[in-house]
Amino acid sequence: LSVCVAGRYIPPHLRNKDVSKNGFYSKSCGWNTAKDAYSSFGNNRGKSAFFNDRGNANRGRFEHGGFGGGGGGGNSRWVEESRDDGDWSKPTPRNERLEHELFSGSNTGINFEKYDDIPVEATGQNCPHHIESFQDVDMGEIVMGNIALSRYTRPTPVQKYAIPIVKSKRDLMACAQTGSGKTAAFLLPILSQIYADGPGEALNAAKENGKFGRRKQYPISLVLAPTRELALQIYDEARKFSYRSRVRPCVVYGGADIGQQIRDLERGCHLLVATPGRLVDMMERGKIGLDYCNYLVLDEADRMLDMGFEPQIRRIVEQDTMPHKGIRQTMMFSATFPKEIQILARDFLEEYIFLAVGRVGSTSENITQKVVWVEESDKRSFLLDLLSATGKDSLTLVFVETKKGADALEDFLYREGYACTSIHGDRSQRDREEALNQFRSGKCPILVATAVAARGLDISNVKHVINFDLPSDIEEYVHRIGRTGRVGNLGLATSFFNDKNGNITKDLLDILVEAKQEVPSWLESLAYEHQHKSSNRGRSKRFSGGFGARDYRQTAAGVNAGGFGGRGGRNQAGHGGTRGFGGGEDPV
Ligand code: AMP
């Protein structure tokens, strides 16, 4: 396959379709190959690479183990500050080593015809028109070059809508999941704006502060994410798109050495990716000031609330020095829209556009879903059978219910001679990163994970997802099996089902039917029995309409006129009840 194919984004549910008809080389795309990107920057070969690496000096986080706060580089403060000066819209010289490090690992994929069929619904006043290609909007030389280096040949559905919305300085609330390309959907337009506008006041503030020996940083953009893993993933994307720019991205998260993170921040921070708790800590230590933060992103907002981060988020956004809504630009991403999220949106966003991106993925026909009846006591031996039938090098992700269960199963597989590893909430940050690396690299092609630990991770290349323990809600099931369809190959998902999984029966049946999968007859009978037991429950509404959620402003006219009665209304919402897809529909 050609280089260009490698960058073609394939929504999971459309991957593995016929390649031949599609023409990889889009005519409108002037950035088809990495080579084009290089040449468009002019010939900078031979120039000092010293400056180039400045924004990215803390590289090799995984390669060298541990968080790479401060390693490498050796840049003096003078170099850093002098580098902030100058025209931010112009690319800095190339650095081939860094370029290779950042861009060599892009996804592979196959083009497909039905790319554009994924429905996207944008609601809100004066919604900017969506784009069809990256060339339809002027994002500047640096961003366009990095898009080409990343080998993204065309925008994903969420990008087509979100990029022009953010570029036209509108706030955004988007229902999109990991795998949809949502990270680039906000990073590209934000960075493009920062490159165009330059650092402004933030630069002077940092310099002034530096004169007094304090090294407080004033990021221009802040991205809040629920977990360390997601934060790191966003940071890695930010490194790509800030290549050859004066923007230095940083990441801070809990569970890792704060001293190292502080040292890394002190080398300059224009775009900060953070988990809420650690950021509050950094703010209280006087290391971060949000006075000039013009762009705020809340990624996986529902997850952050589920994890209890609301007080920290409000502390960061409302009770410190961050510019008010309407002055800053705010983007919120969430897979679901329970009432709590809607309230947060109302409090943080100004006249926002609501984007509902059609369900990407998970119930697709090209993921083969198998449900097998396996008693608890037979699960391990059944798993061994499955593993021996799977190719040695294919990555297999095994989901279990509990942390204890994850440890026990990892031990068991290890004793059976399988190279496996695990991630769950009790494992240290270092262990988790290590485990993920070993899995991704194929050193340990079996990863045992709890749902919480795996949430939001862009683990690609997974051939087989095994639900050793099925989740109790279908949304989680959909998330899990979506891990297989990420690289254009046929995915396989096998779920062990027994008496304990009664509560998911009906939804599981619906999903299998919808995705035209084989339905075991026992599952049909069970679902039938179940439905008749719980008479008040018809067909699940979760998946109605094909969207993850809807703009509540459209469905509940009364809401803005006091329909949810201020923050107090939150308690009445009943969080759990609206967690499913379609949870955005206001119950009133
Ligand atoms: P995300 O939903 O942000 O986690 O992105 C999922 C994966 O898709 C990441 O590995 C991205 O690098 C990749 N990706 C995002 N946008 C594009 C695009 N336009 N073309 C190709 N790959 C993309």
Question: What pLDDT sits at residue 351?
Answer: 94
C-alpha–C-alpha distance, residues 385 and 395, integer Å: 16
Does residue 415 sit in the same domain as residue 442? Answer: yes
Q: Is the CB of 131 under 6 A from ligand 1?
A: no
The domain boundary residue, chosen from 328, 358, 388? 358
**Structure token digits, residue 517:** 């999968």
pLDDT tens-place string over residues 320-345: 999 999 999 999 998 777 788 889 99
Does residue 412 sit in the same domain as residue 322? Answer: no
Question: What pLDDT sits at residue 497?
Answer: 96
Does residue 189 sit in the same domain as residue 272? Answer: yes
Does residue 354 sit in the same domain as residue 377? Answer: no
Does residue 120 sit in the same domain as residue 220? Answer: yes
Please provide the average confidence, as pLDDT, over all residues in the chain. Answer: 76
Number of domains in the chain: 3
Question: What pLDDT sits at residue 52?
Answer: 35
Residue 405 above 70 pLDDT?
yes
**Centre of ligand 1 from the C-alpha of residue 132, in Å:** 16
Provide the phi-psi class of 207: left if phi over 0, else alpha when psi is between -120 and 50, else beta: alpha
Query: Residue 515 half-sphere exposure, CB side, CA atoms within 13 Å?
Result: 30
Q: Is the CB of 134 under 6 A from ligand 1?
A: no
pLDDT band at 284 (very low <50, low <70, confident <90, very high): very high
Asked whether residue 257 is domain-assigned, the answer is yes
Residue 193 above 60 pLDDT?
yes
Question: What pLDDT sits at residue 178?
Answer: 67
DSSP 423: E
Buried b or exposed e, range 154-187, using 16+ CB within 10 angstroms: bbbbbbbbbbbbbbeebbbbbbbbbbbbbbbbbb
Does residue 118 sit in the same domain as residue 257? Answer: yes
Query: What does the pLDDT average to over 168-190?
Result: 90
Does residue 80 sit in the same domain as residue 181? Answer: yes
Asked whether residue 51 is domain-assigned, the answer is no
Rg, the chain, Cα only: 24
Q: Is the CB of 124 under 6 A from ligand 1?
A: no
Question: What pLDDT sits at residue 140?
Answer: 96
Residue 438 above 70 pLDDT?
yes
Asked whether residue 582 is domain-assigned, the answer is no
**Centre of ligand 1 from the C-alpha of residue 9, in Å:** 6
Asked whether residue 551 is domain-assigned, the answer is no
- % pLDDT > 90, the chain: 46
CB count in 10 Å sphere of residue 366: 18
Query: What does the pLDDT average to over 347-368?
Result: 76
Q: Which of 4, 107, 163, 223 to mutate to test the pocket of ligand 1 (most atoms within 8 A of CB)?
A: 107
**Centre of ligand 1 from the C-alpha of residue 353, in Å:** 22
Give, using CA atoms, the residue closest to atom 22 of ligand 1: 9
Does residue 313 sit in the same domain as residue 198? Answer: yes
Q: In which element (H, E) is residue 357 found?
A: strand 353-357
**Centre of ligand 1 from the C-alpha of residue 116, in Å:** 16
Does residue 438 sit in the same domain as residue 474? Answer: yes
Query: Residue 114 half-sphere exposure, CB side, CA atoms within 13 Å?
Result: 14
pTM, full prediction: 0.63
The domain boundary residue, chosen from 303, 325, 358? 358
C-alpha–C-alpha distance, residues 447 and 363, integer Å: 22
- CA-nearest of 36, 10, 45 to 24 is 10
Q: Is the CB of 112 under 6 A from ligand 1?
A: no
Contact call for residues 548 and 182 (beta carbons, < 8 A): no
Question: What pLDDT sits at residue 2?
Answer: 31
Does residue 295 sit in the same domain as residue 430? Answer: no
pLDDT band at 153 (very low <50, low <70, confident <90, very high): confident
The identity of residue 119, as a single letter, is: P
Q: Is the CB of 181 under 6 A from ligand 1?
A: yes
Query: What does the pLDDT average to over 430-451?
Result: 88
Query: What does the pLDDT average to over 25-33?
Result: 34
Does residue 18 sit in the same domain as residue 127? Answer: no
**Centre of ligand 1 from the C-alpha of residue 513, in Å:** 28
C-alpha–C-alpha distance, residues 323 and 126, integer Å: 24
Q: Are strands 295-298 and 395-400 parallel, antiparallel or unpaired?
A: unpaired
Question: What pLDDT sits at residue 36?
Answer: 40
**Domain membership of residue 88 as a residue range:** 59-358
Residue 538 burial (C-beta neighbours within 10 Å; 0-12, 13-18, 19+): exposed
Query: What is the DSSP annotation of 141-210?
Result: HHHHHHHHHTT--S--HHHHHHHHHHHTT--EEEE--TTSSHHHHHHHHHHHHHHHH--THHHHHHHHHH
pLDDT band at 185 (very low <50, low <70, confident <90, very high): very high
pLDDT band at 485 (very low <50, low <70, confident <90, very high): low
- CA-nearest of 51, 163, 573, 164 to 338 is 573
Domain of 81: which CATH number? 3.40.50.300
Higher pLDDT, 104 or 36: 104
**Centre of ligand 1 from the C-alpha of residue 182, in Å:** 7
Higher pLDDT, 190 or 559: 190
Question: What pLDDT sits at residue 561?
Answer: 33
Asked whether residue 237 is domain-assigned, the answer is yes
Query: What does the pLDDT average to over 45-49?
Result: 34
Question: What pLDDT sits at residue 90?
Answer: 94
Asked whether residue 579 is domain-assigned, the answer is no
Does residue 91 sit in the same domain as residue 117? Answer: yes
Question: What pLDDT sits at residue 472?
Answer: 85
**Structure token digits, residue 277:** 């708790």
Residue 496 above 90 pLDDT?
yes
Asked whether residue 13 is domain-assigned, the answer is yes
Least confident of 40-44, 199-203, 229-233, 419-423: 40-44
The domain boundary residue, chosen from 358, 384, 418? 358
Residue 429 above 80 pLDDT?
no
pLDDT band at 60 (very low <50, low <70, confident <90, very high): very low
**Centre of ligand 1 from the C-alpha of residue 154, in Å:** 10
